[in-house]
Structure formats: structure tokens, C-alpha cells
Structure 1
Amino acid sequence: MNIKTALLAPVWTLQLLTSAKSFLDNPILGSPRFNALGLHVGRVRVAARMTAWRRRRLARAVPVAWREAFDRDGFVVIPDVVPPSQFAALRAAVLSYRGPAREMRQGDAITRRLAIDPAMLATVPALRELLDRKDLVALFHYVASFRTTPLHYVQTIVSHDGPPDPDPQETLHADSFHSSMKAWLFLNPVSEEQGPFTFVRGSHRLTPERLAWEKRRSLAEPGTIDRLSARGSPRVSAQDLAAMNLASPEPLAVAGNTLVVADTLGFHARGAAVEAGERVELWSYARRNPFLPWLGGDLLSVRGLAERRVNWLWSLRDRWEARIGQPWRAVGIRTPADFGAG
């Protein structure tokens, strides 16, 4: 054992009790020997039991129809989530808002994000009202399995921009070994040709077949599989779905003013767009340590702090880019769909 391994071994061990998921970065998590003894599957099982326990405690506050749809499918679709008489004004205010923007390119797709921060909330007060709605907050908490405030963004996806390189988001995958919440409130209609959010119905459940698949994938040497899977966001094939008795992925073509909330332990992807174009959405994300036994306790969810977190995270990654990387490039003051010269 070299000095580096000796120093890092306690850190790697402690990470077993966290959301750490990379088989490449933690040789204990990625050890075929330990995983043959049940390490990875054990973490999956315990995380799922803790998630189910927390959700039972949060269930009462969620509208029954939404909860039943989510429990069955792993996602819930809510048309006209904003009262139609108010949606046009909200949409116009969001699309015209100018603020600091960040972009990331993956394959031939560009993702732009603007933080829903204090400045945006002050300019578009209807956003604050929407994000504070008790029924939506309860649903976000239930899917995340924690009373935590998600990170909120205005997100724009531009498809077929540049050479036709593969977009990794179009490959069916799970985000991690445990549940987390993502939500999309689409400001424009999204057709099947425009690459809608795609989900495998029921794939959030840990059936014996899913657990067997988790066991098989944990036995491979991390360096021999694709990098994203080895980093903890496993890709899944049509053959894998068949072995797990799961249906084919389902593209969720939706009208504008539709909210989709999903557990990204389930297999999902960005649909392959047939044509170039943009889709604009309010995008929300929440993930915590799945082994925590409590529902709350997230100090950064307190109002006044919660809406500042995105900018803090971007600044932190800018400061430590050489060490931890910064995929989100600052592109100046923009609107969500302004892709001209800055």
C-alpha cells in the first residue's frame, strides 16, 4: 500500500455512507471483489429502504393522484400546472429576463442555464409564487424524499448545434444508485421530433431483476466500462431492459405549461431530436445523502440562502476549476434564448 492509498483509505471508507457513486474515484466502491460480496447491492438496498421510509412520512401532504402516478410510474405529468390565465405572462417574463448565463456543450447540444436567484425572483415575482406553492413543494419533497429546497434554473436546450457528435444525455441512464428528484416545467410545447424527456415507466422500483442488474454491473473492472457508467451514472441497453422485464422508453411529448417531476433512479434520457431547435424550461434538481435518517436539517434550504446556492456553486467551481473542473462556461448577460454574440 502506497502513502496516497493509506491516506485516502479512511476517506474512501467514510464515503460508503454518503451519496458517493464513482467506481473510478473510489476503489472501494469500484472493487469487483467487495461488490461480489454485496457491497454495491447492499448500498442500493439500504438507500432504497431509507428513501421509502422518508417518503412514507412525507406522503400525506401530496395530492393523492400525483402520489399514485409517481409511485406507479416513477414520474408524474401535470398539465396546466400554472393557471392558464397566468401562464402567458409568466412565460413572457421568464423569456425576456436578462441575467448571467452559463452554457455547457455535450455532443451537438448546448445547454444554457440562468440561476433562479434573488435578482430573477425580484424581477419575476410570479416565479416566487409558483415555487412556493404548497402542493408543488410537497411533491418535490416527496420525490426527493427530503424536505429540501431544490436548485432552480431556467434551462434552454439547443439541439443539433454544430457537428453531429453524440450527446451523452440521449443515452438511456440512471443518475445514481439512489433516488433523486428532477423537474421540468416546459414553457413551450415539446413534440417527439424535438427530443422530449424520455422515461422507462416503473424503472425506479428495485425489483429482483433490477438488483441482479446492479450486481452484474458492479462486478466489472471500472476501467473496462464506459466512463459515465464507471463514474456512477450507469447506461442501460435494450437487452438490459428486457432482462429486467421493463418496457421500452417512453417519450413524453407535452404541451407548454406542463410540469414533469421524476425520480432519476429510473432510466431516462433526453430524446433524440430529429430537427434543430430550442426548448426552454424551468429545471429543478434535488439530491441528498440517501442514508440520512431525517427529513430536513438542510440549512441551505432556508429562504435567503436557498436561492443563492446556484451562484455560489458556480463561483466555487470557477475558483477550483483546475482541481474539480468547471463544465459551465460563463457567457455574459443573456436571455434564455439569446444565442447571438455576447
Structure 2
Amino acid sequence: MTVLKAKSLLMLPIWFLQLGTSAKSFLDNPLLGSQRLNRWGLHRARVRAAGALCGWRRWRLSGKVRADWREAFDRDGFVAIENVIPPEEFAALRRAILSYEGEAREMRQGDAITRRLAVDPQMFHAVPELRRLLDRKDIKALFHYVAGFRIAPLHYIQTIVTHDASNEADPQETLHADAFHSSLKSWLFLNAVAADEAPFTFVPGSHRLTKARLDWEYRRSLADPTAIDRLSARGSPRVDAADLAEMQLPAPRALAVPANTLVVADTLGFHARGDSVRPIERVEIWSYGRRNPFVPWLGGDPLSLPGLAERRVGWLWALRDRFENVVGQPWRKVGVRRPVDSMD
């Protein structure tokens, strides 16, 4: 008991400082998971403050975003852009990506396997069309707006394979929010996605912090984090139809889209990978951007500078490899692969 108290006293300043960061786990930080503090409004205050700052930053970024894209995103929390690349350019880009060989990592979640190849200097050299795409001013402006920051996302070539041999459920198939604050995820699909083949699914309008959503956030913050599912307790809340009704939200929408469609979403909104009636393999350009939600300024991220931004994925993988015993490393090395090579 004395050892535990001493550890708590040592950790208390860190736990306190985390209140002003993107830290979200009610299990790992007893201040975030404190039912007493949350009854007094701690979690609700963090959600509201992060939302207000994001709204202010987006207002300042809005002028550079195409009006139709901005209106669709503001309404729904995502925007789906078909034929985002001219067809002849898309065909060449798709061929180059599918034939590219690079260091790959894989992760299994339930019956799904995800493979990722880093979009790094080596890939940009081999596939210059990819750099031109990601440097497009209209796409960068949209990414900045959705992220709420003028930062460079992390980019990967991602392959999803479903119905692999496993009796476990894929946690990505349950509607959830990634965190208590806004962040960017995007998918540029290199294959067509059918409505019954694990489509990206989103609850329209669920990115908005309405009174009903804030009330729901307050109620969920009062739960004992050891008595709810682990992913929710770690800050990525799972929801069902009753929760959506409580928040006065519509049914989720599954996005069946053709190849060459870019979907950009705020993962504060509730989303999931839809169910698939058959095994599928899908390849996409996947991008992700998240920053401390309480930072008021738009830029100032040195790791977003050209020459550094495209090396971050390799650095992150290496860092997790080095400290695997402390932070874990779900992404295992599988050697040099193409996106479409068979999974191990």
C-alpha cells in the first residue's frame, strides 16, 4: 500500500498536466477517470473546451477550403469526393502503388488484418504521382480544416483483409468515437467499396457537440471505468442504437463508393468499419492527423516541415520497437511486401 501511495504521489503532477493534453484514458489516469471530478464536470469541461477551440481554429482555416466540401463536412462530419483524381492519372497512380515494394507492418484485430506501408521518402521517389497528390492545395486545405490545425497528416498505404481465421470480433466494426476531441482520418479508396463489403460507416452530424451529446458525455464519464468495456474506458467510446437515440442522432450511413473516392472525416463523430458478407481485400491511401486539442494556434509543428513530415512514420515505428515493453507495439514487422501480397 505504501508503494502504491508513493507511486501515486510521483505520478500526480503528470496526471494533472495530462488534463491539458489529448490524454483520454479513464483507466490510465485516475484524475480523468475520477467519478467525483467528473460529477463536478471535469470531462464535460474538457470536451467543451476542446470543441470550442477546434471551432475557432476551423473558422480561421475555412477561407481556403472549397465551399461545397466545407458545407458537406460541416453538415455531416465527413465529405466523400468521387473522382478526386483525373481518371487517367488515377489509373497510373493505382498501378504504381499496387506494384510498390517496401517495408511493411501488420496488425490483427479480431478477424481482420491491416497491413501498412509508410508513405516515406523512398515511396515518394518510386511513386512521384503520390507526392503530387498529397501536395495538392485543395486537398491540404481540406485536411487542415478537418484536423483543425495546419499540420501534415501521417500517410500510409493500407490494406484491409477481413474474415481471416479467427473467432474474435473486429472492434472496428462497432460504432465508436476515437477520442473526446476532433481529429482527422481520410481514405482514398483504390478499389470500389460495396455496401456489404466493410464500407466506411458514419453517423451523420455526430461530430457536433450538441447539448444532447454533451449530456451523454457527462453521463458516460460517471461510469466506473473498470466496469465498462476496455476500449470505452481507454477513451474511445462505443455506442449502440439506444445511445444514438439518446443523443437525437440518425442511423449510421454506410458509404458505398467507387474507386478513386476520397473520404475525409472527423473521428469525434461515431464511425465504424461496416460488416462484410464475404472476405474482402481493400487497398487505400490512409491518412491520420491529431494534435493536442487545447493548443490555440494553427501551425507551429516542426514535424510537419517538408523533409521531416515524411519520415515520421518510420521514427514512430522505431520508437515503439525500442520501448515495446513500456508502450507496446501492435504493428509487427513482416518484411518487404507489396500492398496486395498475401497476409501471413
TM-score (norm 1): 0.99
- Gaps of at least 5 residues in structure 2 are none
What residue in structure 1 maps to residue 216 of structure 2?
Answer: 213
Shift of 1:164: 3.3
User: Can you list the C-alpha shifts for 1:263-319, whole angstroms capped at 9, x where unaligned?
Assistant: 000000001111001010000000000000100010000000000000100000001
**What is the identity, as a one-letter code, of the residue corresponding to 1:287?**
R
Where does 1:93-132 land on structure 2 (aligned, <5 Å)?
Answer: 93-132=96-135
2:256 corresponds to 1:257:
no
Q: What residue number does 2:33 align with?
A: 30
Deviation at 1:192, TM superposition (A): 1.3
> Equivalent residue for 1:77?
80
Offset at residue 340 of structure 1 (A): 5.6
SS of aligned partner of 1:166: coil
Quickly say closer, same or farther: Cα 1:340–1:159, change in 2 above 3 A.
Answer: closer
Deviation by residue 1:198-234 (Cα, 9 ceiling, x = unmatched): 0000000011110111001000111001000000000
Q: Deviations over 1:97-123 (max 9, x none)?
A: 000000000000000000000000000
Task: Find the counterpart in structure 2 of residue 245 from structure 1.
Answer: 248
* 1:308 corresponds to: 311
Query: Within 2, Cα distance between the matches of 1:333 and 1:339?
Result: 12
Q: Which runs of 5+ in 1 are unaligned?
A: none
Match of 1:61 in 2: 64
For residue 177 of structure 1, what is the aligned residue in structure 2? 180
Q: Name the counterpart of 1:3.
A: 6
Counterpart for residue 236 of structure 1:
239
Partner Cα separation in structure 1 for residue 124 and residue 188 of structure 2: 16
Residue 302 of structure 2 corresponds to 299
Instruction: Provide the TM-score with structure 2 as the length reference.
Output: 0.98
Aligned-partner Cα distance in 2 for 1:340–1:143 = 33
Query: What CA distance in whole angstroms lies between the structure 1 residues aligned with 2:226 and 2:155?
Result: 34
Separation (CA, whole Å) in 1 of partners of 2:135 and 2:187: 16
- State the match for 1:195 in structure 2: 198
Distance 2:324 2:197 in 1: 33
CA distance in 2, matches of 1:317, 1:290: 23
How many residue pairs get aligned? The number is 341
Q: Does 1:48 align with 2:51?
A: yes
CA distance in 1: counterparts of 2:118 and 2:275, whole angstroms: 26
Q: Deviations over 1:133-165 (max 9, x none)?
A: 000000000000000000000000000011232
Structure 1 counterpart of 2:74, one-letter code: D
RMSD: 0.8
Q: Percent identity?
A: 68
Amino acid in the other structure paired with 1:58: L
